[in-house]
Amino acid sequence: MKQVRHAQVAGYFYPSDPQKLKKEVSLLLDIAKPQKSYDKIFGIVAPHAGYVYSGKTAAYAYNLLKDKNIKTVIVISPSHSEYFPGVCVYEGDAYETPFGEIEIDKLKADKLCEESRIVFKGLQGHRKEHALEVQLPFLQSIIKGFKIVPIVIGDQGKMFVDELAANLVKIYDHETIIVASSDLSHFHDSHTANQLDSIIEKRINNFDFENLQKDLELNNCEACGGGPIVAMMKAASLVGVSNSQVLNRCDSGDVTGDKSEVVGYLSAVIYKN
């Protein structure tokens, strides 16, 4: 029997009605035009809050994928609802959103897990996770006929992130792109949030994933998907890609008007000159 991971946060983080969803995503893509284009994109960073809060920031990154020859998208997400020691690749056949099913690239999923105890196939982290799911309608709006490798990191310690990065290299090719899903600091006033989030912006702009990992470990900054970002950047470095650029950064107070307690968001592109 076909195993499909059904949408869990449609109607909460984004519209559950396909027509309303299409209208909202199209509007976000229309108002978030990046200032330049990038030919050789390795991956992007995109936030994962409700579209009303972070959708515009995400759209800056997703717009860069238009008209690209992309066959497989590897989506790397943190785990918000359950802890497990390792990195879990969805073991089923498809992920579903209001736009329909997206087939799992089983060849790449299997290869990613080969000879690894840390990176494995299963359901851990996938059952209720929103951070992976909210990326998918954007992808379905931009790319046609693609497959996905959905990954949830249960433990973002260096050992797990490093092995994921090494394994990503095994399945990367020029028809593959990686999406690292992450929000930034949570529930500080906007001034404090800006201080914390600017550290991550600087590390990404400098392609300094090693110090980003250290900053996260030392709590110098906050990113719930810091592990996915570091894993993607490290994998990029292993295949000779060493450029990154933050596209947009904001916080939830820009939408609500309440700057006393905000969540930070950022989008970025990892690319080769």
Give me the amino acid identity at 184.
Answer: L
Spans in the chain with pLDDT lower than 50: none
The letter for the amino acid at 119 is V
Tokens of 52: 């009303």
Predicted TM-score (pTM) of this structure: 0.97
- Tell me the CA end-to-end span of the chain in Å, nearest whole number: 45
What SS3 class is residue 186? Answer: strand
Decide: 243 and 270 in contact? Cβ < 8 Å: yes
φ/ψ of 231, rounded to 5, equals -60, -45
Q: What is the pLDDT of residues 40-70, one digit of tens each?
A: 999 999 999 999 999 999 999 999 999 999 9
Identify the CATH number of the domain defined by range 4-272: 3.40.830.10
Looking at residue 191, its amino acid is: H
Quickly tell me which residue has 């996770």 as its tokens.
Answer: 129
- Distance, CA of 62 to CA of 143 (rounded, Å): 10
**Domains of the chain: which residue ranges?**
4-272
- Edge to edge, the sheet with strand 4-5 lists 4-5, 94-97, 100-103
Contact call for residues 235 and 221 (beta carbons, < 8 A): no
pLDDT value, residue 70: 98
pLDDT of residue 141: 98
Q: Report pLDDT for 198.
A: 98
Give the relative orientation of helices 190-205 and 226-238 as an angle to the nearest 10 degrees.
10
Q: Which pLDDT does position 82 carry in this prediction?
A: 94
d(CA 249, CA 227): 19
Give the model's pLDDT for residue 163: 98
